[in-house]
Amino acid sequence: MSDTITVNPSHLTDDDWARMRAFLDAARAKGEVVDLSARVELLTPAEVAKRLGMSRSTVRRRILDGDLKAIKVGTHHRIPLAEHERFSGELMLRMAKASAADIEAELFGE
């Protein structure tokens, strides 16, 4: 069996578990060996910018300021998916707080 299956462990569904179980059962029935590996999913600054709706240069500034953690692969920055998710959540929280403060100021004055 030369098939592969790719899953993101942080988002496993019941269907993913069932597919993995079926995959392993089929390999066992054929006497095959299954190789399991893990890797960090890395995003380019352009991919992060697109996902966040900002420019690549803004993402680069956030990396240089230390707000967004990145690793260097050669001369290029790469952002781990988990770091993107952390930064995105933090960004959404800051935007929500800013919006709430604006609404409060509008309703109740400064």
Shared domain for 76 and 49, answered yes or no, is yes
What does the pLDDT look like over 1-43, one tens digit per residue? 457 777 777 778 898 889 889 999 999 999 999 988 877 889 9
Shared domain for 4 and 19, answered yes or no, is yes
Shared domain for 32 and 48, answered yes or no, is no
Shared domain for 46 and 17, answered yes or no, is no
Terminal-residue alpha carbon distance, the chain = 68
Q: Number of structural domains, the chain?
A: 2
What does the pLDDT look like over 43-96, one tens digit per residue? 999 999 999 999 999 999 999 999 999 999 999 999 999 999 999 999 999 889
Shared domain for 29 and 49, answered yes or no, is no
CA distance 43 to 109: 43
The rounded Cα 4 to chain-centroid distance in angstroms is: 22
**Is the pTM here over 0.85, yes or no?**
no
Domain that holds residue 67: 42-108
Give 110: exposed, middle or buried? Use CB within 10 Å, 0-12, 13-18, 19+: exposed
Shared domain for 57 and 70, answered yes or no, is yes
* Average pLDDT of the chain to the nearest whole number: 90
